[in-house]
Amino acid sequence: MNRPVPANDLSEVVEADRAHLWHHLTQHKPFETMDPRVIVEGKGMRVWDAKGKEFLDAVSGGVWTVNVGYGRESIAKAVYEQLLTMNYFANSAGSIPGSIFAKRLIEKMPGMSRVYYTNSGSEANEKAFKMIRQIAHKRYGGKKHKILYRDRDYHGSTLAAMSAGGQDERNMQYGPFAPGFVRVPHCLEYRRQDGAPVENYGEWAADQIEKVILAEGPDTVGGLCLEPVTAGGGVITPPEGYWDRVQEICRKYEILLHIDEVVCGIGRTGTWFGYQHYGIKPDFVTMAKGVASGYAAIACCVTTEAVFEMFKDDASDPMNYFRDISTFGGCTAGPAAAIENMRIIEDEGLIENTVKMGARTMANLHALMDKHRVIGDVRGKGLFCGAELVADRATKEPMDEKKVQAVVADCAAQGVIIGATNRSLPGMNNTLCLSPALIATSDDIDQITGAIDKALTKVFG
């Protein structure tokens, strides 16, 4: 593909970056001797850096966000027109795109009914935590306030979200964390816990949640927050039987189920939402990244009508509503972009494409696993896939992180941007991650896995 706009001299931009920018999740020392990566353009599946190098982006903007691909004029126009008409008013009042997107979104989420707008995944999760806490105070004298979260899951970078963070390396040096968040075991079958059975692992893993609830006291536990497919914790698809049992446990102990769809939401796994693969009925669903594919900042905390009702049952009580505000939850660019993003996904059949291309990605990764002993496990759902690298298949000793990063770097040198779990779990940042835009073609998928094939050969022989 031709570069859409001719290269200009961007040395000033690169120097300003080096001098003044603080990049996310990045050690800056290397930039004393080499240039930081500056991405200047994107079109479809491809991006170009400041030097004019073209990359096929297999991670949708680095963190699984640009679901409909780059350079969408119709989204830009929708945002432009909305900004000229009405850019902002606090969400204590409604807006045209805010109402319309809420309606369209709820049509995709049978059983859910209310949308609370925020500006990031972390913030959306914080809203759900606050609602669970307020329900505990309103209904249970503050006692049923604990929120369970799972080992290896991630829910954001703010301190309460990190208190619900199951990634110890991410959390290191940022404590102490907020009280009232309690960890339950992960459900990664490949790394089955000591004593876990080979048969019915899914049910067993869910039963471990019940054990934690019983140990804490069911009357103290108000919510359970889980990713449908764990993302940065290693692309963990749930084992058979897991979710049915989780749902049963939540019902049994009257625990509100909060599904974090920040990554999986809006088509990523081949359904509108990841939880819809498993027949779950959540009380809260949070989402962010793919909602507007990064064309504007928008995140949502969606609840059932039953949850919503609890915040309006006594209008005479001045404390009896959700006393929360998100300034940028009132930006109209987010829902304006989200409406058009959703239209594109529907009109272009991108969910169906995700199912097809996801199957191709998994087939290609399994073929690589047959060829390269360093791949210990392949996991995925839709266009969200991972390959866990190990030093030894028999012992499952995780591959040295530097070598995992060398694979990522070699793919980039070949012009393909892939990801890997990063500073998430001590000694366990060994899973390559793929999450291309939902517009990916067979050729794109083959180019991505072809680059991984070459990189694995180069790094491991």
Ligand X SMILES: Cc1ncc(COP(=O)(O)O)c(C=O)c1O
Closer residue to ligand X in complex, CB, 260/377: 260
Tell me the torsion sign for CA atoms 459, 443, 422, 409: positive
C-beta of 24: minimal distance to ligand X in Å?
9
Beta pairing class for 114-118 and 299-303: antiparallel
**Would you say 408 and 39 are in contact if contact means Cβ atoms under 8 Å apart?**
no
Element (H, E) at 306: helix 305-309
> CA distances (Å), 394 to each of 201, 301, 304, 366, 451, in order?
20, 43, 46, 18, 26
- Closest separation in Å from C-beta 80 to ligand X: 24
Q: Taking the complex as a whole, how short is the minimal distance between the CB of residue 299 and ligand X, in angstroms?
A: 6
Task: Name which of 122 and 429 has its Cβ closer to ligand X.
Answer: 122
Least distance (Å) from ligand X to the CB of residue 262? 3
Q: Check: CB of residue 263 under 8 Å from CB of residue 273.
A: no
The rounded distance, in Å, linking the Cα atoms of 310 and 291 is 27
Amino acid residing at 113: S
Query: Least distance (Å) from ligand X to the CB of residue 75?
Result: 19
Q: How far is the CB of 124 from ligand X (least distance, A)?
A: 8
Looking at beta carbons only, is 204 or 243 nearer to ligand X? 243
**Please, what is the minimum distance in Å from the beta carbon of residue 120 to ligand X?**
4
- Distances in Å between the Cα of 129 and the Cα atoms of 112, 135, 145, 155 are 17, 10, 9, 11
The least distance separating ligand X from the CB of residue 174, rounded to whole angstroms, comes to: 15
- CB nearer ligand X, residue 153 or residue 340: 153
Q: How far is the CB of 420 from ligand X (least distance, A)?
A: 14
CB of 242 to ligand X, least distance (A): 17
Q: DSSP readout, 137-188?
A: HHHHTT-S-EEEEETT----SSHHHHHT---HHHHTTS-PPPSSEEEE----
Q: Choose between 121 and 238: whose C-beta lies nearer to ligand X.
A: 121
Shortest separation between residue 123's beta carbon and ligand X, angstroms: 7
User: Between 128 and 459, whose beta carbon lies closer to ligand X?
Assistant: 128
Q: Which residue is nearest to ligand X (CB)?
A: 121
Instruction: State the burial class of residue 319 (Cβ atoms within 10 Å of its Cβ: 0-12, 13-18, 19+).
Output: exposed
Give the phi and the psi of residue 143 in degrees, each rounded to 5: -75, -40
How far is 328 from 289, CA to CA, in rounded Å? 16
| Alpha helices per DSSP H over 9-54 | 11-20
Dist. CA 211–CA 9, nearest whole Å: 61
DSSP codes, 44-110: BTEEEETT--EEEETTIIIII--TT-B--HHHHHHHHHHHHH--B--TTS--HHHHHHHHHHHHTST
Task: Give the nearest distance from C-beta 19 to ligand X in angstroms.
Answer: 25
Q: Which is nearer to ligand X, 372 or 379 (CB)?
A: 379
Instruction: Tell how strand 221-226 and strand 256-260 pair up.
Output: parallel
Q: Which CB atom, from 122 or from 364, has the smaller least distance to ligand X?
A: 122
Shorter beta-carbon distance to ligand X: residue 227 or 388:
227
* Cβ nearer to ligand X, comparing 78 with 160: 160
Which residues contact ligand X by CB under 6 A?
A: 63, 120-122, 125, 154-157, 227, 231-232, 260, 262-263, 288
Residue 28 to residue 49: CA distance in whole angstroms: 18
Instruction: Order across the sheet with 221-226: list the strands.
Output: 114-118, 299-303, 284-287, 256-260, 221-226, 146-150, 181-184
Task: Rank residues 24 and 402 by Cβ distance to ligand X and give the closer one.
Answer: 24
Q: Would you say 263 or 310 has its CB closer to ligand X?
A: 263
> Which three-class secondary structure state does DSSP give residue 299?
strand
Q: Are 341 and 300 in contact (CB under 8 A)?
A: no
Question: Which of helix, strand or coil describes residue 406?
Answer: helix
